[in-house]
Amino acid sequence: MAHEVIMPALGMAQETGKIVSWQKQAGDAVKIGDVLMEVETDKAIMDVEALADGYLGSISAAAGEDVPVGQVIALISDKIDAAPAVSHELPMASTEPPTGQSIIMPALGMAQETGLIVAWHKAPGDKVGAEDILLEVETDKSTMEVPAGHDGFISALLADSGQEVPVGDVIAVISTTAPKAPFQSTAETRKPAQEPVGDPSPAPVELKAATATQIVASNPVVVPGSRIFASPKTRRLAAEQGLDLGRLVAIGHPQPYHVADLEKLHNLPLAELNNEVQSLALPNQITARVPSGGTQDFLDWMQEEGNVTLAPSTIWIAFAAAALRSALEAGDDILVISLMDLQAKVRSLTNPDRARLSCLTESDPDAVASLILRDLSDSPITGIRLAGSKEPSLSITTLGNDYQICLDFTTDQLSDLQAIQFITEFSDRLTDPLRHLL
């Protein structure tokens, strides 16, 4: 006789549950009370336990799949030979992904070889627009949002959150019509995490350090207050032992966390924590959105009236220097603005706000920059948060017919008031370049 394992209702209004991971594999012997899987619903991750003794088999839903409440997802059989073969793929009409527009892992940096998928914002079968955010990709020390680039429906997702994918590999397929059987797979074999038998219960350790919300990771990038994915048992043991799961986030240990991960946390040297916090803390950020028409109108005017061709970044760098000088009340101080493009090529200019746009002065290679300006306008990036640097960082991306402006800074570089004044004055200049230049 086989016992059915169904997706449980873990909340009053719950309609589906997402399988985070399987804790048992097909053929494993299970007992009543053993954790079979972890299910995410709303804002919690819950352990689902076996309600019968036997052998697990006939698993019909994979990790990462949303399953309707009440649907049968596995069987527990009396005999091991009664357990059918296991499929870790989602149901689909054929063995090949649906046809459509292939979405590849983008190259977001000159030397980038792989990208880490931090999170998918769309699921198989979802309808998407070209400017909808499809996923977040981490490269180097930043996490970037990548738009879909095409209108249609998600026919296939070919990589998991948390997976590193080589640049150029296909990670999704967008079709023009709604797929009958959305496809989800991974480039690597899934290996469900196993919780150790018994309770290791390492000795309690007193932590004299920051809490999880005060520690921010560079791999993956996590903003303060973000959720930490861990099983209830792991959270309970961590609290009992005085262990901070935020430290695992800070060193880039992959989530979700299980009891076995507490041993690594237990062995982390406390002496290094202050350095972790200082080096991984993200700066403050202010964003603004400005119509790009003003800049383009000015560039057209310069071409028609003076036969002068300028890049938009030339105007940006002059306006950034002028706005920074005003915010800092720098007077006649020397300001060096470093311009960085998508290929990470750097051009440093001295006092670009006090020179003709066609005759900007290059800085000494060893000069310390007052501000880094990143021109990301030709990339698909629509939003960005960068890890802390020695200088304030101003990034410009495009969003439809607008410029998206992001200022990353620390209080050591700019006060809140100075940062607000800077981004306001810079935005005003971009809106009406001719008035400010003349």
Paired residues of 135 in beta bridges: 120, 146
Tokens of 409: 């800074």
Same-domain check for residues 339 and 426: yes
Determine the pLDDT at residue 371.
92
Closest CA to 192 of 155, 231, 164: 231
Could you give the dihedral angle defined by the CA atoms of residues 340, 344, 348 and 349, in that order, rounded to the nearest 10 degrees? -30
User: Taking Cα atoms as reference points, which of 59, 109, 64 lies closest to residue 83?
Assistant: 59
Pairing of strands 35-41, 101-104: unpaired
Asked if residue 410 and residue 313 are part of one domain, the reply reads yes
Which regions of 331-390 does DSSP assign to beta strands (E)? Answer: 336-340, 346-350, 361-362, 371-375, 384-386
**Residue 239, exposed/middle/buried by CB under 10 A (0-12, 13-18, 19+)?**
exposed
Query: Same structural domain for residues 405 and 329?
Result: yes
Nearest to 30 by CA among 7, 3, 9: 3
Considering the domain boundaries, does residue 93 fall inside one?
no
Check whether residue 319 and residue 375 sit in a common domain. Answer: yes
Give me the CATH number covering residue 133. Answer: 2.40.50.100
Residue 291 belongs to domain with CATH number: 3.30.559.10
Whether residue 74 is found in the same domain as residue 158 = no
Shared domain for 132 and 155, answered yes or no, is: yes
Q: Same structural domain for residues 383 and 404?
A: yes
Among candidate residues 184, 201, 230, the one where a domain is terminated: 184
Instruction: Specify the pLDDT at position 9.
Output: 65
Whether residue 298 sits in one domain with residue 403: yes
Question: Is 57 inside a domain boundary?
Answer: yes
The residue type of 244 is D
Q: How many domains does the chain have?
A: 4
> pLDDT 10s digit of each residue in the chain, 438 long?
677 888 776 654 567 888 888 888 888 888 888 888 888 876 567 788 888 888 887 788 888 888 887 788 888 888 765 444 434 343 343 444 567 888 888 766 555 677 888 888 888 888 999 889 998 888 665 678 888 888 999 888 888 887 888 877 788 889 888 887 777 764 443 344 344 344 443 333 333 333 322 323 333 333 344 457 666 677 778 888 888 887 887 777 777 777 888 888 888 765 444 444 444 455 788 999 999 998 888 888 888 888 888 889 988 999 999 999 999 998 888 899 988 887 777 889 999 988 888 888 888 877 888 999 999 888 888 777 776 678 899 999 988 889 999 999 988 889 989 999 999 999 999 988 877 665
Q: For residue 130, is it within any domain?
A: yes
The predicted pLDDT at position 180 comes to 78
Tell me, yes or no, whether 243 and 267 share the same domain: yes
Q: Is 263 exposed, middle or buried (0-12, 13-18, 19+ CB in 10 A)?
A: exposed
Main-chain dihedrals φ then ψ at residue 146, nearest 5 degrees: -115, 120
Q: Is residue 163 part of a domain?
A: yes
One domain for residues 369 and 231 = no
| pTM summary value | 0.40
3 state SS for 14-70: CCEEEEEEECCCCCCEECCCCEEEEEEECCEEEEEECCCCEEEECCCCCCCCEEECC
Which ranges of 141-287 would DSSP assign to H, the alpha helix?
232-241, 246-250, 261-267, 273-280
CA gap 17, 47 in Å, rounded: 12
Q: Is 265 helix (H, G, I), strand (E, B) or coil?
A: helix
State the residue range of the domain holding 222: 212-280
Q: For position 21, what pLDDT does the model report?
A: 85
Cα(293)–Cα(371) distance, integer angstroms: 25
400 shares its domain with 427: yes
202 belongs to a structural domain = no
- The Cα–Cα gap between 414 and 391 comes to 10
Residue 179 belongs to a domain: yes
Which pair of structure tokens corresponds to residue 190?
């899934």
Domain end position, chosen among 265, 280, 295: 280
Domain boundary pick from 147, 169, 184: 184
Q: What pLDDT is recorded for position 227? A: 55
Q: How far is Cα 280 from Cα 252, in angstroms, rounded to an integer?
A: 11
- The answer to whether position 205 is within a domain reads no
Residues 124 and 260 in one domain: no
- Tell me whether residue 191 is in a domain: no
